[in-house]
Structure formats: C-alpha cells, structure tokens
Structure 1
Amino acid sequence: DFGTRTCPIWERRLWMQSEYLAFKLEAKSCVDEFENLRKCGARLKFDDSMLHFQARNQVRRMLYFLHDFDKHDNGTFIKTFLNSLMILHFSSWQIQSDENLSFEVNKIKKQILHVIQEHFTGVRLPEGVNPDHDLFITLNRRSKEVRQSSQIVLARFSEDDFNLCLCEKDNGVGGIRRELIFEGRKGRVDANLSLGLPFLDYVMMRNFGEVGQNLKTAYVDRLESFKGKLLRQIDPIQKDGIMIIRLRTNHTFRRQIFAVRNNTLEVIDG
C-alpha cells in the first residue's frame, strides 16, 4: 500500500514532539486537520477513534496530496511514498519536448548491465566492485542457491555495444508514452530490451543493496527473450575456443580461453 514504506528523513521531521520544532504543512487547506492528526501520530494527544499508527498513515497521505515540497527535497518523500525510485524520471520523460536523456539517467546504464549480468550468469554480484566492461552469457544452472564460481561462456559483448534511448509507444488511449530502451548499437547488435518502470525500480533497489525482492516473472521472460536474440548473433570469432570465467574472491571475473591448436591445448587469459 502507498505510504507504508517510511522515509527516515521525513519521519524525523513529522514526529518532532517539541512545539517549536514541529513540522508545518505548506498547503492552502486542511492545515488544522493535519496538525491534529500529526499530534495524534506523535502521541501528543489521544483520540479514541484512531490509533497512533493510523494517524501517522493519514498524515503521510495528506503530506503527499497537499504539501508544497521545496526543490531541496528532490522528490525524496514522493518516491518513498509511492515505493518507486524512478517514478519522477519516468514522469518527466512523458512531458519533455524531446527524446534526449539527462546525464544522470545515462549513469544507470552500468546499473542495468549489472542486473542483466546477474541474470545471465545466475550469480549475485555485490554493488561497489570494479565493473567488468563485458556482458557475458554463460552456461549455468540458474540457481542462486548453488555457488557457480566457474562457468562456460556462450557469448561475450562489450558494454559499448549497447546504449540507452527513449522510445515513443502507443499508450492505448490514443496518446503516446515514452519508455526507456536498452538497445544494441546499430551495426553491432540487433536486439533491444524494453525497460518498464518496475524493472527500473528493481535496478535502483539492487544498486542500494536491497536483495530481498525478486524480479517479476514478466521481466524474467523479457530477459530470456533478449538473451536468445543475443545468442543468435554470436560472431564466428567468438566460437574459436572455449572461454571460462571464474569468480574471484573480490567478486570480479577472471577469463581464460581454452583452445586446441596443432594438437596442443593452449590456455590464455582472455
């Protein structure tokens, strides 16, 4: 439900018990009603018809609908209330006059690659490690419960083979909506992945270290379809020998290529 996820910064401001430091609603109406509910939520007054946690939920809802947030908030409360870290970006794409992406949005390309790499290898990779500049598709057992430190690489693509762009689509009611697309660069890779709002929220939550949620089935199917398209475009050069990646203790991959030449097995670092 909206409002059940709390924002620590705002929770501290809302429930101050000192009257001098008490939060004031910036709105044209319902200010007195808001203050009564805020006092119930802060346990400064008691109401037999409402428990304190119910009052707090009502305060958060009134804050969302009525408060005039200043620019320094950067949408922190709204994103937390709606439980969507990318909702404001998604909303801004719908009203902007062009299809250009801000530098801030382009930064999430590496975070998207991180999540795709986890899915393609079946290995959870912690945030903060030095990223690999290649995207690997491996032969694995698709089980995160089994540590798969060594895997055979079926295909490898450079991160430069992909780009982020905005694409216009029919919204079903006679208008258009813009959606973020993870696409192969023209002349290199002919495949793209549509990144809806739930997927982008998942990417951002993984970036902040939240590992409890799983990717929705619909997006797992999209990733599998995207993987199939990539596998059908393997360059013949990639089929020369077998590449194996080994997961190091620092959570980076060591690449080794095994090839037979002149009846001799050669092993080189990839």
Structure 2
Amino acid sequence: LQGTPSRTRTPDPPERRTRPNLLRHHAPLARISLLGADTRATSSEVVADKMCAKIHYIAPNIYCCGAGTAADTEKTTELLASNLSIFSLNSGRNPRVVMAAQIVQDMLFRYHGQIGANLILGGVDCAGGHLYTIGPYGDMDKVPYLAMGSGDLAAMAILEDGFKPNMELESAKKLVRDAIHSGIMSDLGSGNNVDICVITRQGVDYIRPYEESVYKDKRERRYKYKAGTSAVLTERVIPLEVVEETVQSMDTA
C-alpha cells in the first residue's frame, strides 16, 4: 500500500526484531513499506513446506516477495542481494529501490522467461517508500499496491476494496492480513501462516509469523486398523532369486 501517513497521529517506530528471517502482497505508505506473504510451498497437489519464507532479504532497506518456482525466486533474490551488498561496501550507503528493480529486471529479461520468478520488490530510501513488480520476462511496473501468486485474484479484491492513500500503519497491516487470508481461503496452493515485514527508515520489523493459520484440518479419527480387520482370502508367496548384486558408494563430501 502506498500513501501518506495521517498527520493526526504518527505511529511509533516499530520495534526491531531479531527473529530470522506466496499470495504475495505489498502495501507501502509514503515513508513506510509493508510486505506480506503466506508460508505454503507446494509440489503439484502435495504441500512441500508449511513454513516457507517468501519474503526475502535484499538489503537493509529492501525486501522482496517471490511467487512462481521456489528455487528460482530464492536464487534470484540471493544473487540480487549479493550484487547490492558489493555496491554498499563500495559506496558506503544503502542502495535505492529503483536500482534493485532495474538490476533484477535486466537479469530476468536476458533469460526470456526461463527463470520462473514473479517478484514484488519493496523498500524505503531517501525518496520514500516504493513498490515495484517484476515479471519473469523482465516487465516492470511501479504500483501503489499489488498481489501476486496463485491466490492473487481473491487477495487483489480485498486490496482494491480497502486501500486508502492515507492509511494508519495498523490499518495497513490488517488490510494485508485480510488480503492474504482471502487468498488462503480461495486457493489450495496458498495457506498456513501469515508473515508481515514493515520497512521504515528506522529499521525493519519482520514479524514471522504475524498470524498463525485459523484454517487447519483436524483428523476426526485414527486410520490405523487392527490386525485381522480385512480378511485374507488367498495367499501366494513367490521366491525371488538374486542374480546380481551391485553396491555403489556415494560421495557425500
């Protein structure tokens, strides 16, 4: 979300947390950047990871949400973070958000969509809060708010309905939480917890988890049956002869 904080009440700087750091959402206020994501990673119809971190560190003032192929989004953001850390060491200052967006845009454009990374890049610099969306083909746009991922249609509906230019920080957090929850309820590929990252000039507040899932399946009964529950009608044992046995050692170094 992007706008100007209300002048009637200035929110206190968020407490810096030391906790380690897809519906993917971003909500920057004029001087604040707010990112949110779910924590479910899937492999086809199988839930591969229930605590996948989809908000990636780029720089002290920039974070990035990723949707698409998990390996591509992680390695792309790691490469971007490495390049920007070299810039910071040489210049002695934090990078601009538009600089990070242009670097990753140029890299993705060269691969013509072969890297399945849909990114939402958000951060705060000397010019305020910024939000950029970068597609796998190198297309880039600057937007006030955005949702990406398999549950983005339901999430975008909540963002479009509740977004206001002059939102309080807590209201923006609730809006992002509601958008992610809407995507979770409407999409099997999204789920589990809600993570939120608040970026200001004073620092970063990475809340993981911001909210644990309220939609969890409970097993109603045990599916371990007693021996003899299913009757054995016939039994046939076929002996197998080992013709050749080969043992190969695997290098684990």
Answer 1 or 2: higher relative contact order, Cα 8 Å, separation at least 6: 2
| Greater gyration radius | 1
Give TM-score, length-normalised by structure 2.
0.25
Question: Which structure shows the bigger proportion of residues in strand conformation?
Answer: 2
Give TM-score, length-normalised by structure 1.
0.24
